[in-house]
Amino acid sequence: MLEEEALLVRSHPQARPRMADEVRLVHWWVSGGEAAALDVLKQNLAKEDLVFNDTPIAGGDKLKADLKAMIIGGDIPTAAVMSGYDTWNWAQQGVLADLSTLAAAEDWNSAVPAALQKFCKYNGKWIGVPVALHSINWLWINTAAAEKIGLDAPPASMDALFVALEQAKAAGLVPLAIGGQPWLMATLFDSVVVATNGLDFYKRAFVDLDDAALKSSDMIRAFQNLSRLSSYADPGYSRLNWNDATDMVITGGALLEISGDWAKAEYRSAKKKADVDYLCVRFPGTEDDVLFNADIIAMFDVEPDRQSAQTKLAKSIMDRAFQASFNDAKGAAPVRMDVPDATFDAFGKKALADVRAANSNGTLIGAMSHGYIQPTGIQQAYFDVVARVFRSEIRPEAAAETLAEAIAAVK
């Protein structure tokens, strides 16, 4: 947003008057599983006597564009879901609230992992609340499809993964389910980089933006693995959304997918059971690492008479019981480390245990693909090069150099 636009926001009259007990949430949760999770939130707000004004917008880019138009028009929602550096982009415009008093009273500082807190705060002030701590380095396998190809355990290495994909192809299955948008290819590539070269390399390349690491033969090997994986995608993959791809695995048309744990919400909605109908393990070679992507509910600087409803919203999202029930439905780990896992299923228990372990040993690290390592410009450059490799528009051997140059041009 431009500086003048930000000024316009501050001087523009409110477009539509809002009721004091209304909570207007702009979000991107539109799939079946996501809607089920959102229901948990809606029920929680009803208990607080809040009126939920639902504003779903499919797709992160569309949400950003629509949100910008709303804000410029003076139509300020109570809150909007966002991730990574986007929270800072909005905070820089001076349009977000300051929840620091509430945060101190509720001790969010000790409950939320520091790696995630970083994006819930701007200049030391809480500007939103995290709602779901997703991680992306998961491999999802349909058990019936695995049996069909004689796969009795999830692949434990990249080599074993390629063997399984080849067998699925020979059996007439779609080996690898994936959707056609660059963010999905980048989500996959994050895991591939760690699996190919380890977490230290991932940090050198993406956190430090070390030129030698970006251009290295290790990075080329990661791109080669990505390119090889892309050859196992369904020929029609470019038309698919993430949840269509997940559905292909749920229904057994595809053997596997590599996806963030939002996929679990779809399995849950389809009444599929972990370890029975599907297997879910860490992507081979990333077992000790948690590459996270969290949903943050950023709070806007609303008029005084709307603040009490906003405070109730923030408090209820951070409530331990809500964190447990919402994230059981959403597929994520709770954002607070002090939520008991008693009510979680086996997958939820593992997700939380992994996050807790990674949080204490320094391996809880943001996903490059989800804006948790680098600002938007670099994230976009990453999407662009990764997608071009996946679509065979550039050779993996040229991609490392191209990525380094693309990053250098925007950093």
Residue (34 or 289) nearer to ligand BGC, CB: 34
Amino acid of residue 308: S
Q: Which is nearer to ligand BGC, 63 or 309 (CB)?
A: 63
Cβ(104)–Cβ(326) below 8 Å: no
Sign of dihedral through CA atoms 352, 357, 361, 365?
negative
CB of 327 to ligand BGC, least distance (A): 11
Residue 242 as a binder of ligand BGC (CB under 6 A): the answer is yes
Nearer to ligand BGC (CB atom), residue 257 or residue 295: 295
Could you tell me the smallest distance in angstroms from the CB atom of residue 11 to ligand BGC?
33
Taking CB under 6 A as the criterion, the residue among 78, 83, 286, 402 binding ligand BGC is: 83
Of 34, 86, 190, 289, which one interacts with ligand BGC (CB under 6 A)?
Answer: 34
> Count residues contacting ligand BGC (CB under 6 A)?
9
Strands 138-142 and 128-135: unpaired
> To which residue do tokens 């038309």 refer?
239
Closer CB to ligand BGC, residue 262 or residue 347?
A: 262
User: Which residue lies nearest ligand BGC, judged by its C-beta?
Assistant: 262
Task: In angstroms, give the least distance from the CB of 306 to ligand BGC.
Answer: 25
117, 282 contact by CB (below 8 A): no
If the CB atoms of residues 262 and 267 are measured against ligand BGC, the closer one turns out to be 262
- The alpha carbon torsion through 239, 191, 197, 355 (nearest 10 deg) reads 170
Cβ 34 to ligand BGC shortest distance, Å: 5
Which candidate, 11, 27, 22, 25, places its Cα nearest to that of 95? Answer: 11
Residue closest to 95 by CA, chosen among 110, 114, 115, 77: 77
Q: Greatest CA span in the chain, whole angstroms?
A: 66
Mask: binding to ligand BGC, 146-185, rule CB under 6 A, as x and -? ----------------------------------------
Taken in order 38, 365, 245, 178, is the CA torsion positive or negative?
positive
Distance CA(364)–CA(283), nearest Å, equals: 15
- Angle of helix 304-318 relative to helix 32-47, nearest 10 degrees, comes to 120
Among 295, 347, 351, 385, binds ligand BGC (CB under 6 A): 295
134 touches ligand BGC (CB under 6 A): yes
Please check whether residue 299 is in contact with residue 96, taking contact to mean a CB–CB distance below 8 angstroms: yes
Coil, strand, or helix at residue 365?
strand
Report the nearest approach of ligand BGC to the CB of residue 223 (Å): 23
For ligand BGC, give the closer residue by CB, 213 or 280. 280
Q: How far is the CB of 220 from ligand BGC (least distance, A)?
A: 28
- If the CB atoms of residues 12 and 272 are measured against ligand BGC, the closer one turns out to be 272
**What's the rounded Cα separation, in Å, for the pair 301 and 310?**
10
Taking CB under 6 A as the rule, does residue 138 contact ligand BGC? Answer: no
Task: Answer for the pair 176, 340: CB distance below 8 angstroms, yes or no.
Answer: no
Is residue 262 a contact residue for ligand BGC (CB under 6 A)? yes
**Closest to 325 (Cα-Cα) out of 131, 115, 195, 166:** 131
Nearer to ligand BGC, 183 or 201 (CB): 183
Measure the N-to-C terminal CA separation of the chain; round to a whole number of Å.
18
Quick one: tokens of 375?
Answer: 């600002």
Among residues 165 and 298, whose Cβ is nearest to ligand BGC?
A: 298
SS3 345: coil
Q: How far is the CB of 164 from ligand BGC (least distance, A)?
A: 25
Min dist. Cβ of residue 221 to ligand BGC (A): 27
CB 405, min distance to ligand BGC, A: 27
Q: Which residues bind ligand BGC (CB under 6 A)?
A: 28, 34, 83, 134, 242, 262, 293, 295, 370
